[in-house]
Structure 1
Amino acid sequence: MEELGTIQVLVNGEKLSLPDGATVQSAIDTAEAPYKIGASVGILKKSESVRSESVREYRVKTTKGELRLEIIDHLSASARRWMEDFRQYEGISLRWGSKDATAFGPFSESLKPERNLTKLDKYDVAFSAGGYNPSNFHLLFSLAEHSADYGAPEDGPFAKVVGGKKLLTSFERSDRILEIEPVIEWQESAKHLVTDDTNTILEDGDGLFTFIMVELALESPEGAEFFFGLIKDGFFEVDYESSSFISDTSLKGEICSFENFEARKDGAVWVRTAGYGTGKVFISRDERTASVVHSVIGHIQQGIELIHMAGKGHSIFVKTDPAPINILGMGFKEAEKHLEGLGVELVREGYKEDDANIVKLNPSSTIDILLAKKVIATGAPDSLVIRVELYDELAPKSVDFFRHAVGLTFRPIGTLPVMMIYEDTYLFKAAKSAEKYKEILPENVLVDKTKAFEIGITNQAAKRMGIVGVKTEDDDLFGPTGEKFSSTNIIGKILEPEKFKALTEKDTMYVLESNKEEIE
């Protein structure tokens, strides 16, 4: 009997009892749910009448983590058997594993084993009967494309692993299946609420969704880095929605390599790599065919419900698997400690002393580093790594140009080679010619005088558009780049002037952006 004065809710799929009057915030705190201030959360109201008649996906919770299965053919005997009694497979343990497959069991089944080869693709799921004995059935997960006689029913595989794929090669004999839950699909008419107000009161039966987990595709290392750049503040900002997808156009115009040609299933994350809208990132709400201009970079592993509820203007908190390896700007010792936990070896290059700052990685992408289990990190003396404050509110478009040009859009540290130094003027030219695809219209232009150590960029009113400059003394006549005031946009300031004044024309300045908390 339910305790008086409590409500039952689901928080990111986990059952939770809360007192009457509980808020979104209290549910987040009690469940220790992933959440970031400012994020939009989804609240799905209990409404049995709008559930889909057939369930397409199931969450399989194991001692190692969560798998997500998608039914291939609802009409097959194996699929029907699974849907009728999937809970009977809870509690079964890993029985055996090979390079081709891993299996949990045993259990009894009414299905008929066949003495035939079964063709399996990678990540297929099928029933298999050891010795063709109906009392010795197992749940088999395929690790590679192959054919073998597993005593499987005639219909072969009935499902596919679409989430948590990396777990399949990590299972040990002590691992078991803990719980299996259907992923209920809700029609758009289902009553729901999306809000960033964590004081919202929850009701009995509500489902609360606070984040999405994106499992990044190993086939898309560059796409993963592009996605990390998009969500570096933690959010997927929905600025367009349709019945088929939601999108974030923050990086529209940025180039991302095409890497992964595959069908875009519900929950697929992809980026447009060519044509109009290049750089836009989408998350699918339905099934779409593969496209030569849309590279799939990942899939929603958890929180697909939030994707279907969110609309234009909502900010979705995102976590990724794997998480980005953010060691640029770190010292070698700190980075080595961080990478040790990931099983990655760090090789020092360039300036190798302990007081160095890491300014470059090879390979440069998180996925490639994890696959190689090794990274060559180039260090630079601390004297060349200079903190800056950028004026986002005063010159948002110019600051956006600067970040793109020096590499701060996708990395925490940017590169800005010294072009020329004369008298009190330091000029820089970024290696990336962002002016080829981004405008620098006059914005936050100088009025009275140039202040020492403010960062200026020449706008398109002058020929040398895109040149970055800093003066070490105030100047009443010319801007930081030597241009007249009307041709100069002020985008920020140097926070470490003594380091800056020590730069020479042979140097490259490594730009480390300081956040508001550090400045204050």
Structure 2
Amino acid sequence: MPITSNEISVEVNGQGYILPAGSTLGDALKVSRAPYIAGAAVGILKKAAEKRTEEVTEYAINTPKGELRIEIKDPESSSGKLWAEHYKEYEGKSIHWASPEAVAFGPFEADIKPSRETGSFEAFDVLFGAGGFDSHNTHLILSRRRHTAEYGAPAEGVFAAVVTGRKIIFKLSREDSILSIDPVIEWEQLAEKTCTTDLSVPLEDEDSIFTYFEVELSRNAPVGAEHFYALTREGTFNVDVVTSSFISDDILREVPVPYENFEARREGTISMRTVGYGTGRTYISREERPSSLVHSVVGQVTKGLELIKLAEKGQKLSVESLPPQIILLGHSFEEAEPVLSSIGVELIRDGYTGKDSVIVRQDPPTTLEILGEAKVTAYAVSRAKLIEVELYPERAPKSVDFFRHSLELKTKTVGKLPVHMIYDDTYLFKTEEKVVKYKEVLPENTPTGKVLAGEIGITNQAAKRMGTIGVRLVDDDLFGPTGEKLSSTNIIGRIVEPERLKEIKEGDSIYIIEAARRRIDDQENQE
């Protein structure tokens, strides 16, 4: 149905919508109900910008064995023009024949003038050829190695070359076909593009809008996938670094992640650095890069790659992960069982099983392993041992980072904290993670007056017991929560219900959950 002069046509994440002329980005988001996190950046690509790209010279050919790319050598040649006008017609074409020298997709009819001359071809050349010198029997031929042959190619012969994904050519067989062919647009060179958080931006006819990106996580990297879940816990990916070849999020930098999966880094590949400078940093590739022994591949962007290419430093992007993360920690068996049952996962109860139980450990520990085994053992304690804390990252950023890192709260929703010593109204804890070896605890947010009951302190490096965590159940204006003088104590937060500690004994362990995180989980349960 044609649109009127009072309307505009826009696309939101690939879906078309008709809006009144003068509509804003916010209007489009409301009408489309597109996935979007408030405050995240949205990409807008003008149709006019795409039209101004005079020559598309690179194309992505997707096959069951992977993606390869070809570059057109001469767009003005007859074969170059034929390709540009008809490349979509070659989608679905199977490999008709394959030899050590070349593979051929087809046949199909094409407007070419076959030549009977013998041609010389280099590895990775691309050409049209006519079986029996008949244009009704045309094939798309990809050369595997240097050779000579009579393919019935047009006089100009080779019109393109495979530039990336060359290994794919050697993996192709008679069972394979062309799944899709898409032009590669150099987004960075387009003038009329933007990535913005301003929802009042007016839209124009034929604008394309991208509100989020979707990631499919790899079963070959279950721990890395859990790292990505933790990174995007709030539904967003922070764009801390931008280059022509990648964007990266540094939130979990310095949090170790194992090397699990060796794969080529295609456009949209999610990878994590596992050793050296930047360990724990998460990358999303903007262009193809070779495999790396220090980058473990954990997933692939399956929708919204345009948003990755349009993103700017300092922004955050909305993201959805497949499959969704399974979060058991901090929940009761009664909350967890129906959710797991709905996805075909058996729940085995372990530990405390009373009505006030709360899950603090699970085996297997990762979402992808749980789904793979269709079974999970959940260990619970009484809710009295789940201690809710409110942390002060604005006042003591380094010390709060130390605390979260020590208890693995950067990647988990519940952390374990063993009770080291109890005397009078003072409770001292020692972390299981030996973060003290590589994390400094410099003085910050040291109290100058009274320390309130329930406040959490960490001994800083001005004292010998650096890294000790403590809480007192009474106010004190002489010593901090770890029993050190005030100048040797960093205050990092408070326990919401400190009286819960009265039931704790030396040798026990308590389990920590952040107050803000708990509120978010509760809201999700209500919804």
- Whether the TM-score (by the shorter chain) exceeds 0.5 is yes
Note closer, same or farther for the CA distance 1:459–1:206 as it changes in structure 2 (3 Å cut).
Answer: same
* Letter aligned with residue 448 of structure 2: V
Instruction: Give, in whole Å, the separation in 2 of the partners of 1:69 and 1:198.
Output: 38
Q: Deviations over 1:267-288 (max 9, x none)?
A: 1111111111111111111111
How big is the shift at 1:37? 0.6
1:252-331, aligned counterparts within 5 Å? 252-331=253-332
Note closer, same or farther for the CA distance 1:15–1:58 as it changes in structure 2 (3 Å cut).
Answer: farther
* Letter aligned with residue 84 of structure 1: H
1:146 aligns with none
What secondary structure sits across from 1:50 in the alignment?
A: coil
Contact persistence 2:349–2:377 (CA under 8 A): yes
Instruction: Give, in whole Å, the separation in 2 of the partners of 1:228 and 1:209.
Output: 21
Note closer, same or farther for the CA distance 1:184–1:24 as it changes in structure 2 (3 Å cut).
Answer: farther
Instruction: Give, in whole Å, the separation in 2 of the partners of 1:263 and 1:180.
Output: 20
Contact persistence 1:209–1:303 (CA under 8 A): yes
Note closer, same or farther for the CA distance 1:198–1:396 as it changes in structure 2 (3 Å cut).
Answer: same
1:84 aligns with 86
Contact persistence 1:388–1:494 (CA under 8 A): yes
Instruction: Give, in whole Å, the separation in 2 of the partners of 1:202 and 1:180.
Output: 30
Instruction: Give, in whole Å, the separation in 2 of the partners of 1:452 and 1:410.
Output: 29
* Letter aligned with residue 488 of structure 1: T
1:332-347, aligned counterparts within 5 Å? 332-347=333-348
Note closer, same or farther for the CA distance 1:27–1:88 as it changes in structure 2 (3 Å cut).
Answer: farther
Contact persistence 1:238–1:248 (CA under 8 A): yes
Q: State TM-score, norm by structure 2.
A: 0.77
Contact persistence 2:426–2:482 (CA under 8 A): yes
Note closer, same or farther for the CA distance 1:496–1:181 as it changes in structure 2 (3 Å cut).
Answer: farther
Instruction: Give, in whole Å, the separation in 2 of the partners of 1:183 and 1:414.
Output: 48
Note closer, same or farther for the CA distance 1:87–1:492 as it changes in structure 2 (3 Å cut).
Answer: farther
Q: State TM-score, norm by structure 1.
A: 0.78
2:398 pairs with 1:402: no
* Letter aligned with residue 295 of structure 2: H
2:248 pairs with 1:241: no
How big is the shift at 1:506? 2.9
Note closer, same or farther for the CA distance 1:472–1:195 as it changes in structure 2 (3 Å cut).
Answer: same
Instruction: Give, in whole Å, the separation in 1 of the partners of 2:17 and 2:54.
Output: 21
What secondary structure sits across from 2:292 in the alignment?
A: coil
Note closer, same or farther for the CA distance 1:157–1:218 as it changes in structure 2 (3 Å cut).
Answer: farther
Instruction: Give, in whole Å, the separation in 2 of the partners of 1:327 and 1:117.
Output: 53
1:231 aligns with 232
1:383 aligns with 384
How big is the shift at 1:88? 9.6
Note closer, same or farther for the CA distance 1:491–1:44 as it changes in structure 2 (3 Å cut).
Answer: same
2:214 aligns with 213
Q: Deviations over 1:107-134 (max 9, x none)?
A: xx7x8945x899xxxxxxx9799xxx99
Q: Deviations over 1:139-162 (max 9, x none)?
A: xxxxxxxxxxxxxx8969999xx9
Instruction: Give, in whole Å, the separation in 1 of the partners of 2:308 and 2:474.
Output: 52
How big is the shift at 1:56? 3.8
2:189 aligns with 189
How big is the shift at 1:324? 1.1
Instruction: Give, in whole Å, the separation in 2 of the partners of 1:317 and 1:218.
Output: 23
Instruction: Give, in whole Å, the separation in 2 of the partners of 1:341 and 1:59.
Output: 35
How big is the shift at 1:339? 1.1
Instruction: Give, in whole Å, the separation in 2 of the partners of 1:255 and 1:481.
Output: 28
Note closer, same or farther for the CA distance 1:154–1:313 as it changes in structure 2 (3 Å cut).
Answer: closer
Note closer, same or farther for the CA distance 1:518–1:322 as it changes in structure 2 (3 Å cut).
Answer: closer
1:451 aligns with 452
Q: Deviations over 1:294-340 (max 9, x none)?
A: 11111111111111111211111111111111121111011111112
Instruction: Give, in whole Å, the separation in 1 of the partners of 2:142 and 2:89.
Output: 21
User: Which protein shows a greater Rg?
Assistant: 2
Q: Deviations over 1:398-439 (max 9, x none)?
A: 111111101110011111111110001000111011122222
Gap regions ≥5 residues in structure 1: 61-66, 90-103, 119-125, 135-152, 163-178
2:34 aligns with 33
What secondary structure sits across from 2:253 in the alignment?
A: coil
Contact persistence 1:478–1:485 (CA under 8 A): yes
2:124 aligns with none
What secondary structure sits across from 2:279 in the alignment?
A: coil
What secondary structure sits across from 2:188 in the alignment?
A: coil
Instruction: Give, in whole Å, the separation in 2 of the partners of 1:341 and 1:516.
Output: 24
Contact persistence 1:8–1:18 (CA under 8 A): yes
Instruction: Give, in whole Å, the separation in 1 of the partners of 2:85 and 2:363.
Output: 47
1:353 aligns with 354
How big is the shift at 1:352? 2.1
Note closer, same or farther for the CA distance 1:349–1:112 as it changes in structure 2 (3 Å cut).
Answer: closer
Instruction: Give, in whole Å, the separation in 2 of the partners of 1:283 and 1:324.
Output: 20
Gap regions ≥5 residues in structure 2: 73-78, 110-138, 145-161, 166-178, 521-527
Instruction: Give, in whole Å, the separation in 2 of the partners of 1:288 and 1:181.
Output: 20
1:465 aligns with 466
How big is the shift at 1:201? 1.3
What percent identity do the matched residue pairs reach?
A: 44
Instruction: Give, in whole Å, the separation in 1 of the partners of 2:291 and 2:271.
Output: 10
* Letter aligned with residue 499 of structure 1: R
1:98 aligns with none
2:56 to 48, 53, 56: 53
Instruction: Give, in whole Å, the separation in 2 of the partners of 1:4 and 1:460.
Output: 70
Contact persistence 1:52–1:184 (CA under 8 A): no
What secondary structure sits across from 1:188 in the alignment?
A: helix
Instruction: Give, in whole Å, the separation in 2 of the partners of 1:454 and 1:68.
Output: 57
Instruction: Give, in whole Å, the separation in 1 of the partners of 2:61 and 2:32.
Output: 22
Contact persistence 1:113–1:154 (CA under 8 A): no
1:9-28, aligned counterparts within 5 Å? 9-28=10-29
How big is the shift at 1:500? 2.1
The root-mean-square deviation of aligned C-alpha atoms, in Å, is 3.5
What secondary structure sits across from 2:338 in the alignment?
A: helix
Note closer, same or farther for the CA distance 1:313–1:515 as it changes in structure 2 (3 Å cut).
Answer: same
Instruction: Give, in whole Å, the separation in 2 of the partners of 1:51 and 1:320.
Output: 36
Instruction: Give, in whole Å, the separation in 1 of the partners of 2:12 and 2:409.
Output: 35
How big is the shift at 1:348? 0.6
* Letter aligned with residue 457 of structure 2: G
Contact persistence 1:52–1:186 (CA under 8 A): no
Contact persistence 2:59–2:181 (CA under 8 A): no
Instruction: Give, in whole Å, the separation in 2 of the partners of 1:465 and 1:56.
Output: 58
Contact persistence 1:51–1:186 (CA under 8 A): no
What secondary structure sits across from 1:369 in the alignment?
A: helix
Note closer, same or farther for the CA distance 1:85–1:286 as it changes in structure 2 (3 Å cut).
Answer: closer
Contact persistence 2:95–2:106 (CA under 8 A): no
* Letter aligned with residue 212 of structure 2: F
What secondary structure sits across from 2:52 in the alignment?
A: helix
What secondary structure sits across from 1:297 in the alignment?
A: strand
What secondary structure sits across from 2:187 in the alignment?
A: coil
How big is the shift at 1:504? 1.3
How big is the shift at 1:517? 9.4
* Letter aligned with residue 53 of structure 1: V
* Letter aligned with residue 199 of structure 1: S
